[in-house]
Amino acid sequence: MHQIRYIMVGGFLGAGKTTTLARLAKHYMQQGLNVGIVTNDQADDLVDTNMLRSLGFEVGEVAGACFCCNFDELMSTVQQISSKTRPDIILAEPVGSCTDLVATVIQPIKQLFDAEFVIAPYAVILKPSHGRRVLQNESGTGFSPKAAYILKKQIEEADLVLINRADELTQEQATELEALIHAHLPDRPVLRISAKTGDGFDSLIEWLAQDGDFGRRVLDIDYDTYADGEAELGWLNSSVRVVSESEFSLDDFLLDVVERLKQALAEVPAEAAHLKTIGLWEGFFGVANLISSENAAELSLPSNCQVKAVDVIVNARVACDPELLETLVRKHVAEAAAEINAAAEFRRTQSFKPGRPEPTHRLSAPA
Ligand SMILES: Nc1nc2c(ncn2[C@@H]2O[C@H](COP(=O)(O)OP(=O)(O)O)[C@@H](O)[C@H]2O)c(=O)[nH]1
Ligand SMILES: [Mg+2]
């Protein structure tokens, strides 16, 4: 029977999951394999889905609840992809504030859909900026201890921990991060990668190709702490049409939105876990990101195009009240638009605190 290799890559908000999956998808497709990607969020209008589709990948989306709480939809989304492309590989990106995915996603796939899937090693990305501060138990991480608990639990259930953004780290910084991981998780395999440059991907691909009994590290986890930690994040997904009388640079506009929000959040202060925006118009697209207060706003995928109108999606996950987040997003998108003599029409905005995770399944005895 044709079996699908299920590769899920976890990690905190802004760790580099989507960038990693896009690079892996490209690699597997170049090998002649059929690949489907499944994205996930608590609400609709995902930057990730739009970006991955714009890059030409086959993407299914589970929106409205995380994989663990909407397991059946994860499986039906995989089935939909299967009916179109007969995938050899499914790449899945869970929500960056989720953990306990071994017990609630991997083990249910293994135990309920054993004949259809092969489970690859579960790799979890450590985000250097927040990761270092959390693992050092530093105060002033921008997150409460409960939100920090989630980041720690995420790497605890990994078969393989990935230190991403190796392109930005000195040898010393990478060694320090590795030592911090090993202080928490002695003997856990750690790999340094850069999803941006592709460094370390040969080893990652070798790792992911292994057959074996992976995805078995079921967590001992306190769901009250986990739920409280998640609920401390303000979540916002907005879609906005921006129209001007004259042409403007799409890339400058996207970067301006993120820079204005970075500054506004620093004034509150409120720590951004991940703030991203995509602008789409007539097949062109650009993406801008902010992943922490200590990183610069960056144009991660330039469109290199001038437009008079653009559909913009903003996804923000910030340690603050969702109403405040919505106020700031509306204000600064409107101001960035006014700067280029454009009008911003907010079409749909969802802002909220994530609800308590209530997994569909929780299988604590590994198969
Ligand atoms: N410099 C650098 N930037 C990266 C790397 N991986 C991801 N990024 C950037 O980090 C931001 C968040 O990445 P993304 O893949 O969206 O993170 P996700 O939230 O985990 O899916 C984007 O701006 C990426 O371009 C990397 O290895 N090096
Ligand atoms: Mg992502």
> Which pLDDT tens digits describe the chain residue by residue (367 residues)?
799 999 999 999 999 999 999 999 999 999 999 999 999 999 999 999 999 999 999 999 999 999 999 999 999 999 999 999 999 999 999 999 999 999 999 999 999 999 999 999 999 999 999 999 999 988 777 888 999 999 999 999 999 999 999 999 999 999 999 999 999 999 999 999 999 999 999 999 999 999 999 999 999 999 999 999 999 999 999 999 999 999 999 999 999 999 999 999 999 999 999 999 999 999 999 999 999 999 999 999 999 999 999 999 999 999 999 999 999 999 999 999 999 999 999 999 999 999 999 999 999 989 8
Ligand 1 pocket, residue 296 CB under 6 Å: no
Query: Measured in angstroms, how far is the CA atom of residue 246 from the centroid of ligand 2?
Result: 33
Is residue 293 a contact partner of residue 272, using CB atoms and an 8 Å limit?
A: yes
**By C-alpha distance, which of 259, 287, 285 is closest to 272?**
259
Inter-axis angle of helices 171-184 and 128-135, nearest 10: 50
**Closest atom of ligand 1 to CA, residue 21:** 15
User: For the chain, what is the mean pLDDT?
Assistant: 97
The CATH code of the domain at 4-230 is 3.40.50.300
In terms of Cβ atoms closer than 10 Å to its own Cβ (0-12, 13-18, 19+), residue 213 is exposed
- Between the CA of 194 and the centroid of ligand 1 the distance, in Å, is 9
User: Ligand 1 within 6 A of 164 CB?
Assistant: yes
The enclosing H or E element of 248 equals: strand 234-249
- 179-208 as b/e, with b when 16 or more CB fall inside 10 Å? ebbeeebeebebbbbbbbeeebbeebeebb
Q: Where in the chain is the domain with CATH 3.40.50.300?
A: 4-230
Tokens encoding 47: 């930057």
Ligand 1 within 6 A of 11 CB?
Answer: yes
Q: Which amino acid is at 38?
A: V
For residue 317, give the ligand nearest its CA. 1
Which residue intervals of the chain bear CATH 3.30.70?
233-352
How far is ligand 1, taken at its centre, from the CA of residue 237, in Å?
Answer: 19
Q: Ligand 1 atom 28: the closest Cα is on which residue? A: 165
Ligand whose nearest atom lies closest to the CA of 297: 1
Topology of domain 233-352, CATH: Alpha-Beta Plaits (3.30.70)
Taking a C-beta distance cutoff of 8 angstroms, is the pair 177, 15 a contact? no
- What does DSSP say about strands 4-11 and 123-126: parallel, antiparallel, or unpaired? parallel
Our answer on whether the CB atom of 40 is closer than 6 Å to any ligand 1 atom is no
pLDDT tens figures, 237-274: 999 999 999 999 999 999 999 999 999 999 999 999 99
User: Ligand 1 within 6 A of 127 CB?
Assistant: no
Which residues face 4 on adjacent strands?
Answer: 117
Contact 42, 354 (CB under 8 A): yes
Burial class (CB in 10 A: 0-12, 13-18, 19+), 82: middle
pTM > 0.95: yes
Atom in ligand 1 nearest the alpha carbon of residue 300: 25
Q: Indicate which residue's Cα is closest to atom 9 of ligand 1.
A: 16
